[in-house]
Amino acid sequence: MFRIFNHSVSKVVSGLVLAELIILLAATYIGAALRFMDGRFPYADQSRNFLMTAGVYACATLFSMSALGMYKLNFREGFRDTFLRLMPACALSFAMMTLVFYLIPDLYLGRGVLGIVVMVGAAGILIGRIVFFKSSESKLLESRIIFLGAGSLARECGELALNNTQYHKYRIIGFIPVSGEETLVAASALLPVNRSLVSLAKKFSASEIVVSVQNRRGGTFPIQELLECKLNGIKVVDAASFFEREANQIRVDSLQPSWLVFGGGFDQSFVRAVGKRGFDLVVSLMIFAVSLPAMLIAGLLIYLEDGAPIFYQQERVGKNGKPFMVRKFRSMRNDAEKAGKPQWASSDDPRTTRVGRIIRKLRIDELPQILNVVKGDMSFVGPRPERPFFVKQLCQDVPFYNARHSIKPGITGLAQVRYQYGASVEDSIQKLQYDLYYVKNNSLFLDILILIDTLQVVVFGKGQ
């Protein structure tokens, strides 16, 4: 993994994206050459425009593949699964290129040429992915790690390393128990404690040691040995950094305030604020224009099923704890809170209408919040705004909860695309861990990635 604007990015995925970018650029030239095999290449005098067309096609296809989840890798994926996932992405990129040809005629290729280019590109992607997934069976893409600790935190880190295989593969060498900590991992996974950390790491060719000990106080914690490992080129990270990197979460149960204070991130600069405001306005107005027909239909269906009002307003907590009124399409019955007490919303909430279930699944109910973004109460990407009743409760029960109010709330966000509806304090803790990651590492790059994930949520009906 390496970091772009504080966000952890997989080296494996980055290499795959670069390879597929080259394949798609080459496919544009090969496809055009196959279409004009008689030697009459009509784009010879327009090489600059043709190169731009190739670049736009490659980016459109990469965007389509990303939006359809093709860069959340499954190393056991076969040819058939890859083919079935690639075809919709190719169809989406074909539609996008048709729109580009209409808007920018200088980039026009012709549908016949574009069809051949798409087929060549798809074939290249399929072959490349088969080679990639076959090569992943070797140990070249495998990271070998040792966990210092054998308690509950070490066990959680180990489970994350084994299960989080979308971007790379880990080989867990074992766990080193620490004096004074209860051992909760299998005895077969324990490493001997009568050898130094450096010698163990070198013996098993470990590239990284994850310090997953809950309590580091006392004379038994091997700080000098960890320093020796680092001086010998072995990476040493703590559990908080490991979770941040692998799960895009900042764990509140094992978090020390000093880690937040002295760690990097938390960019609240003037340049970031101006850039984010411009991004919010551009994205919001574009999505408003594209989604206007869907909003008109949604409003009509809400009225036909359950009458007026079509919209509802509700007080939410914004930046620095300032309250504001959020606007959404009404997805619940008019008497949803007839008892007068706020209730948690859940994914299968019985108060939801038939139309409400559909518009919540497709996130159409969130679109009127674009007006809140234009007004400046919200950003397009950020933590979900909560009601004051729940915020008061959660600030008392959940450590660091108020930190999410240091930035504007958003229509979509990392927690919304990674986790389901929050219907309890426990769910709120899980979502807060994603929100803290976003607050700490927010950037334009991360905003774009979240927007792509949001499109995937809308297409497949996943997430919150």
Angle, vertex CA 392, rays to CA 391 and CA 397, nearest 5: 90
The answer, yes or no, to whether the previous bond of 309 is cis (omega within 30 of 0) is yes
Nearest to 365 by CA among 316, 413, 414, 310: 310
Nearest to 133 by CA among 83, 75, 86, 72: 75
Tens digits of pLDDT across the chain (464 residues) = 677 777 878 777 888 899 999 999 999 989 888 877 665 655 555 666 788 999 999 999 999 999 888 888 766 677 788 888 899 999 999 999 999 988 888 888 877 889 999 999 999 999 998 888 777 666 666 789 999 999 999 999 999 988 865 666 788 999 999 888 889 999 999 998 888 999 999 999 999 999 998 777 666 788 899 999 999 999 999 898 899 888 888 888 767 777 777 666 677 788 888 999 999 999 999 999 999 999 999 999 999 988 888 998 989 999 999 999 999 999 888 766 665 666 666 666 778 889 988 888 888 999 999 999 999 999 999 999 999 998 998 888 888 899 899 999 999 999 988 887 666 778 888 899 999 999 988 899 999 999 988 888 777 665 44
| Tokens (6 digits) for 269 | 């600069």
H helix count then E strand count, the chain = 16, 10
Q: What's phi and psi for 121, nearest 5 deg?
A: -60, -45
Q: Where are the domains of the chain?
A: 2-135, 140-247, 270-333+347-460
Confidence (pLDDT) at 6: 77
Type of residue found at 270: F
Gap between the Cα atoms of 292 and 228, Å rounded: 61
Judged on CB neighbours under 10 Å (0-12, 13-18, 19+), 364 is buried
Class of domain 140-247: alpha beta
Gap between the Cα atoms of 256 and 163, Å rounded: 26
SS (H, E, C) 260-296: HHHCCCCCCCHHHHHHHHHHHHHHHHHHHHHHHHHHH
Note the pTM of the prediction, 2 decimals.
0.83
Contact 327, 289 (CB under 8 A): no
Q: What's phi and psi for 166, nearest 5 deg?
A: -75, -25
Confidence (pLDDT) at 9: 80
Q: What's phi and psi for 340, nearest 5 deg?
A: 90, -5
| Tokens (6 digits) for 219 | 């004379």
Q: What's phi and psi for 122, nearest 5 deg?
A: -65, -40
Nearest to 319 by CA among 365, 276, 263, 264: 276
Contact 440, 250 (CB under 8 A): yes
| Tokens (6 digits) for 60 | 């459109």
Gap between the Cα atoms of 151 and 359, Å rounded: 44
Q: Would residue 250 be called left, alpha or beta, if left means φ above 0 and alpha means ψ between -120 and 50 degrees?
A: beta
Confidence (pLDDT) at 221: 81
Gap between the Cα atoms of 36 and 34, Å rounded: 5
Gap between the Cα atoms of 36 and 262, Å rounded: 61
